[in-house]
């Protein structure tokens, strides 16, 4: 009995090796045949298209001078390549024009320089009156910036502020764009104010004070946003109200 068990123990490893042997000796599948195709691009950058081909399992060579990409891939992969290039080789969206209007309002306890606040700002004016205890509000100036998506713009003005002394307003936008919701995205908005301040030396003597306001903001069309408030002494403050309009 022991002899039979010993013989079985010797045979089993050999049998396992015999079972595995046919699997290891099976010939590997030949690689799928590859096809080559040349794509002449109208709009897309050939180098950028080439860099994406490896993700699809294709080999590609770009030629910027001919605006072409040569692709080598299996027939199945080539279908995915053709679909990807069809989606990529389209005209870029035209940059949109963006118009920004900045209203500079002065709130104070006495009648300030400027003109009457326009009717389109009535709702904003009511909000300011509820939030701040100033008795009067006047429109000091209105500045409009027109730019394209991805670009900045700037403008300036010098409205008369007090006793024939002008206040200098610099209105600057570093970059404007349109976000996914269709709102205007304003980056690096800067409102610089240089205002005359009585020097206290004698009548008619003034010095200048520099004030600044910086912000990044999203504005939907039709919105009127109070971007910020700049104190102009004990009884006055300057408010920047901004609107935006996307022009296709």
* The dihedral formed by the CA atoms of 210, 216, 220 and 225, expressed in degrees to the nearest 10: -30
Average pLDDT over residues 71-100: 91
The pLDDT, as a whole number, for residue 83 is 95
Give how far the C-alpha of residue 144 lies from the chain's centroid of Cα atoms, to the nearest Å. Answer: 21
Distance between CA atoms of residues 66 and 69, nearest Å: 9
- Neighbour-count burial of 111, counting CB atoms closer than 10 A to its CB (0-12 exposed, 13-18 middle, 19+ buried): exposed
Report pLDDT digits (tens) over 139-195. Answer: 989 999 999 888 999 999 888 765 567 788 899 999 999 887 888 999 999 998 887
Question: What residues pair up with 175 in beta bridges, in sequence order?
Answer: 187
At residue 228, does pLDDT exceed 50?
yes
The pLDDT, as a whole number, for residue 162 is 59
At residue 68, does pLDDT exceed 90?
yes
Distance between CA atoms of residues 77 and 88, nearest Å: 17
Distance between CA atoms of residues 46 and 67, nearest Å: 6
Orientation of helix 46-53 relative to helix 75-88, angle to 10° = 140
Average pLDDT over residues 108-120: 82
Distance between CA atoms of residues 73 and 81, nearest Å: 9
- Mean per-residue pLDDT of the chain: 83
Distance between CA atoms of residues 145 and 13, nearest Å: 86
At residue 9, does pLDDT exceed 70?
no
With cut-offs at 50, 70 and 90, classify the pLDDT of residue 209. confident
Cβ proximity of 120 and 108 under 8 Å: no
The pLDDT, as a whole number, for residue 5 is 35
The fold for domain 34-88 equals Ribosomal Protein S8; Chain: A, domain 1 (3.30.1370)
At residue 12, does pLDDT exceed 70?
no
Four-residue CA torsion sign, 96, 228, 209, 117: positive
Which sequence spans correspond to the domains of the chain? 34-88, 97-247
The pLDDT, as a whole number, for residue 4 is 39
Four-residue CA torsion sign, 129, 135, 139, 145: negative
The pTM score is: 0.63
Four-residue CA torsion sign, 106, 110, 111, 117: positive
Cβ proximity of 215 and 189 under 8 Å: yes
Report the DSSP pairing between strands 151-157 and 168-178: antiparallel
Long-range CB contacts (within 8 A, 24+) of 202-206: 204/163, 206/162, 206/163, 206/165
Phi, psi of 76 (to 5 degrees): -65, -45
Give how far the C-alpha of residue 89 lies from the chain's centroid of Cα atoms, to the nearest Å. Answer: 23
Distance between CA atoms of residues 195 and 133, nearest Å: 22
């Amino acid at each position: 009995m022991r002899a039979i068990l010993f013989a079985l123990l010797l045979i089993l490893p050999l049998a396992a090796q015999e079972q595995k042997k046919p699997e290891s000796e099976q010939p590997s599948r030949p690689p799928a045949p590859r096809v080559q195709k040349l794509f002449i691009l109208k709009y897309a950058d050939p180098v950028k298209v080439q860099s994406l081909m490896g993700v699809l399992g294709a080999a590609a060579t770009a030629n910027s001078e001919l605006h072409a990409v040569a692709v080598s891939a299996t027939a199945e992969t080539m279908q995915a390549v053709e679909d990807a290039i069809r989606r990529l080789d389209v005209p870029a969206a035209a940059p949109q024009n963006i118009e920004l209007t900045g209203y500079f309002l002065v709130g104070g306890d006495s009648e300030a320089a400027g003109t009457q606040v326009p009717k389109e700002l009535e709702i904003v004016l009511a909000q300011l009156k509820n939030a701040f205890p100033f008795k009067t509000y006047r429109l000091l100036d209105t500045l409009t910036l027109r730019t394209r998506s991805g670009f900045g713009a700037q403008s300036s003005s010098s409205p008369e502020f007090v006793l024939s002394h002008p206040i200098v307003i610099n209105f600057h936008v570093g970059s404007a764009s349109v976000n996914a919701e269709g709102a205007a995205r304003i980056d690096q908005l800067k409102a610089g104010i240089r205002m005359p301040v009585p020097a206290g030396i004698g009548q008619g003597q003034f010095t200048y004070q520099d004030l600044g306001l910086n912000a990044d903001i999203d504005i939907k069309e039709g919105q009127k946003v109070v971007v910020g408030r700049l104190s102009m002494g004990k009884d006055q403050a300057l408010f920047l109200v901004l609107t935006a309009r996307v022009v296709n």
